[in-house]
Amino acid sequence: MQELQDEKAGKVKKERTPMPEQPAEERKKNFNEVALGYTKEDALAEASRCLSCKEPKCVEGCPVNVDISGFIKLICEEDFSGAIEKIKGTNALPAICGRVCPQETQCEALCVLGKKGQPVAIGRLERFCADYERQQGVKVPEITKPTGKKVAVVGSGPAGLTAAADLAKLGHKVTIFESLHKAGGVLSYGIPEFRLPKEIVRQEVEYIKQLGVEFKPNYIIGRIKTLDELCDDFDAVFLGTGAGLPGFMGIPGENFNGVYSANEFLTRVNLMKAYDAEYDTEVRLGKHVVVVGGGNVAMDAARSALRLGADEVSIVYRRGEDEMPARREEIEHAKEEGITFRLLTNPVRILGDEKFNVTAVECIKMELGEPDKSGRRSPAPVEGSEFTIPADVVVIAIGTSPNPIIFKGSEGLDQNRRGTVVADEETGATSKCGVFAGGDVVTGAATVISAMGAGKKAAKAIDEFLKEK
Amino acid sequence: MAYKILKKEEIAPSVHRMVIDAPDVAKAAKAGQFIILRINEKGERIPLTIADFEKDKGTVTVIYQEMGKTTKQLAKLSAGEFLEDFVGPLGTPADIRKLGTVILVGGGVGVAPIYPQAKAYTRAGNRVISIIGARNKDLLILEDEMKNASSELFIATDDGSKGHHGFVTDIMKRILDSGDEVARVVIIGPPIMMKVGAGVASPYDVEILVSLNSIMVDGTGMCGGCRVTVDGKTKFTCVDGPEFDARKVDFVELMNRLAMYRGEEAKAVEKYEEECRCGLH
């Protein structure tokens, strides 16, 4: 069988169908989406590369186990509605996943074609189906007979939205509590328009509402009601509150004006649309912007700063490029747009003027030591190598941890040292009866799709819990 | 989601009181907390202290002074209209217990957050001495309310048009000097007034609390825009505060951070007023 596949693989095009993109020179001046999406012809060409493996590995790489070869086969038959229906059987947010999943480490990493050439562009095909459906008008599946059970979902990010969608499809009455005025969590405030248009997030949320999910914005659990009170009102609770508490470096000068956490910078830009003069929220426009960190959030902040009109944007990262946790594609996009990468460099102090405005970042050169037990090479400062980079805006993107506000006035919920919730990996069950958790609030800052996977598993476990209750 | 304005009145020149229908917020609110509101889809999120709340009626009262674009825009709204977003209660409630004698000092619109505290301290069995002030008698707010909520009320105006001719902190100092045993002083007002007031009370053996008014975006602890240095450590005003030990607050940093968007704010007001003149609003 394997031989047969290999033989067929020898005949298919090694290269995947390219994705049309806005040219770098143009896109760095606007917040429009960079990747433009496949045309019907592109999608058909790419879908035809799939070998329809008998025992497809790609599905194992997908945290929510979408029937990948199944939906690709339907694309080949030009049954795009059938394809999206197949995807939505397991994934409630395909337009988002197709855009922001790191497919190269998930489904596409396990594609057989990847051994000798490029794997099938599964993410792009998923996106194509979702975009096709939005143009046609989204169909809402029939809802199962109500079970009479009520579930509260706290947080409307990827974990909460996925859990809510699955639970609603099973006939449970779901209410989502969201602290901000808009649903989506990091999809709304964190990931910029040029990677994930907010109109798409809005429409995906709308779909979940059509499944019968009630949505309560401006509702803060821990302030309006405690988690304990929520447990009294509902048969089960899912916590998908994310990791929204920004980390700062604790270096001198970090409170100067012009120094932002990535959360604040991106919230102002994405959620409040500070880049648009029609909107009231302000954000400081830097000429020289320094972004500290090497993850996707750092790339998003840097590329947003560039689009706000900065002359120079630098990424300052204490390890090397190979160690950067950001997606390859995001690093490449950032480079194409002209972001400067200052690697093996770490800030030690932020300098400011008499008016309290930031003027520069003092950095030190780093070198990587031998790999430690975990296999990671830890960086150490090179003595005497300090130098300064001029800066009028500095964005700290060194990671986040769970916001403690949710735990206020609630008892019996075990947490780890870093403030994350202790939950069973398979079911999301916590130490508190009837309370399940998943996504960044359990793992610390991770990916959209792993949060969705956790939401999905928890929904299944909650359904079983409710049946036994 | 929209929140109805039930009542709106101008209680002093360019100072307005607004009663909002917000049952969830009203039910959970405690003295010392605040809300964040957004007027419309294009609006910014601004924090305002809860000046009063009625749990059974489901209403929350805010008081604001016309300063920037958003507060000017807010001043144009009337009863019957709606706010797009109104979220709260935010912040850690004031630490209100039976302490004995408490002095509450409010300056300008800072009297608004002092009022629910006066009620709460009185209810907790304290002797509440309130001192409220303004630039002149026309700008003085909540005089009757404060009289009812306090054991004693003193008034100060900068121009002497009512009460003591001078600052609220003069009266505070006089009381602290009188030898009366005072457990705590709470000072709320413009940052400069809180800084000066904290300095005046500092030498006395009394606890001094202030309520800080940092720039905020979300108000839930996810951005750190409101960070202040207290006792050498970075704190988030919106979750750790807004109430802090005045002796430990870095007021200079607070005032500098409050000035961060001053240029942009002035431009926004200018543009808004120009549009008003053209009849666009």
d(CA A360, CA B190): 31
| Tokens at A399, concatenated | 């990671």
Taking chain A (469 residues) in consecutive chunks of 10 residues, what is each chunk's mean pLDDT? 54 84 93 94 94 92 92 94 91 90 91 92 95 84 87 96 94 97 95 94 91 95 94 96 93 96 96 93 94 96 96 96 90 96 97 95 93 80 95 96 89 89 93 94 90 94 92
What pLDDT is attached to residue A1?
47
Nearest CA in chain A to B238: A405
pLDDT tens-place string over residues B148-183: 999 999 999 999 999 999 999 999 999 999 988 999
Q: Which of A180, A258, A279 sits opposite B42 (nearest CB)?
A: A279
What pLDDT is attached to residue A96?
92
CA distance B25 to chain A (A): 6
With beta carbons under 8 A apart, name residues in chain A contacting B27: 224
Q: Using alpha carbons only, what angle is made at residue A42 by residues A36 and A47, rounded to the nearest 5 degrees?
A: 120
Dihedral sign for Cα B200, B206, B207, B209, please.
Answer: negative
Maximum Cα–Cα distance for chain A, whole Å?
73
Half-sphere exposure of A30 (CA within 13 A, CB side): 11
ipTM associated with this complex = 0.94
Nearest CA in chain A to B39: A280
With tokens 């596949």, the residue in question is: A5
Q: A–B: how many Cβ contacts below 8 A?
A: 110
> Are B229 and A220 an interchain contact pair (Cβ–Cβ within 8 Å)?
no
> Are B253 and A356 an interchain contact pair (Cβ–Cβ within 8 Å)?
yes
The stretch B235-257 carries a mean pLDDT of: 95
A156 touching B (Cβ < 8 Å)? no
What pLDDT is attached to residue A144?
82
- Identity of the amino acid at B184: R
Question: Residue B1: is its pLDDT beyond 80?
Answer: no
Interface test with A, best of B217, B234, B237 (most A CBs within 10 A): B217
With beta carbons under 8 A apart, name residues in chain B contacting A260: 225
CA distance B91 to chain A (A): 8
> If DSSP codes are grouped into helix, strand and coil, which group holds residue B190?
coil
With beta carbons under 8 A apart, name residues in chain B contacting A220: 87-88, 90, 220
Q: Which of A246, A257, A278 sits opposite B222 (nearest CB)?
A: A246
d(CA A435, CA A236): 6
For B188, the enclosing helix (H) or strand (E) is strand B184-188
The count of residues in chain B is 281
The answer to whether the CB of A247 falls within 8 A of the CB of A455 is no
d(CA A187, CA A193): 9
Q: Which of A220, A261, A279 sits opposite B87 (nearest CB)?
A: A220
| Tokens at B99, concatenated | 């302490």
Q: What is the 3-state secondary structure (H, E, C) of chain A?
A: CHHHHHHHHHHCCCCCCCCCECCHHHHCCCCCCCECCCCHHHHHHHHCCCCCCCCCCHHHHCCCCCCHHHHHHHHHCCCHHHHHHHHHCCCCCHHHHHHHCCHHHCHHHHCHHHHCCCCCCHHHHHHHHHHHHHHHCCCCCCCCCCCCCEEEEECCCHHHHHHHHHHHHCCCEEEEECCCCCCCCHHHHCCCCCCCCHHHHHHHHHHHHHCCCEEECCCCECCCECHHHHHHHCCEEEECCCCCEECCCCCCCCCCECEEEHHHHHHHHHHCCCCCCCCCCCCCCCCEEEEECCCHHHHHHHHHHHHCCCCEEEEECCCCHHHCCCCHHHHHHHHHCCCEEECCEEEEEEEECCCCEEEEEEEEEEEEEEECCCCCEEEEECCCCCEEEECCEEEECCCEECCHHHHCCCCCCCECCCCCECECCCCCEECCCCEEECCHHHHCCCCHHHHHHHHHHHHHHHHHHHHHC
With beta carbons under 8 A apart, name residues in chain A contacting B260: 257-258, 284
pLDDT tens-place string over residues B54-98: 999 999 999 999 999 999 999 999 999 999 999 999 999 999 999
| Tokens at B168, concatenated | 């609220």
With beta carbons under 8 A apart, name residues in chain A contacting B234: 248, 250, 254-255
With tokens 């922001």, the residue in question is: A100
Among A288, A361, A389, A297, smallest CA distance to A334 is for: A297
Q: Give B271's DSSP letter.
A: H
> Are A223 and B90 an interchain contact pair (Cβ–Cβ within 8 Å)?
yes
> Are A179 and B28 an interchain contact pair (Cβ–Cβ within 8 Å)?
no
CA distance A280 to chain B (A): 5
Give backbone dihedrals phi and psi of A167, rounded to 5 degrees, phi first. Answer: -65, -40
d(CA B172, CA B105): 8
Single pTM value for the model:
0.93
> Are A254 and B234 an interchain contact pair (Cβ–Cβ within 8 Å)?
yes
Q: Which of A181, A219, A254 sits opposite B24 (nearest CB)?
A: A219
> Are B85 and A217 an interchain contact pair (Cβ–Cβ within 8 Å)?
yes
With tokens 């003085």, the residue in question is: B140
Q: Using alpha carbons only, what angle is made at residue A235 by residues A229 and A239, rounded to the nearest 5 degrees?
A: 65
The mean of the pLDDT values for chain B is 94
What pLDDT is attached to residue A11?
66
pLDDT tens-place string over residues B108-159: 999 999 999 999 999 999 999 999 999 999 999 999 999 999 999 999 999 9
Nearest CA in chain B to A218: B87
Q: Which of A219, A272, A405 sits opposite B221 (nearest CB)?
A: A405
Among A460, A324, A328, A288, smallest CA distance to A397 is for: A324
> Are B218 and A179 an interchain contact pair (Cβ–Cβ within 8 Å)?
yes
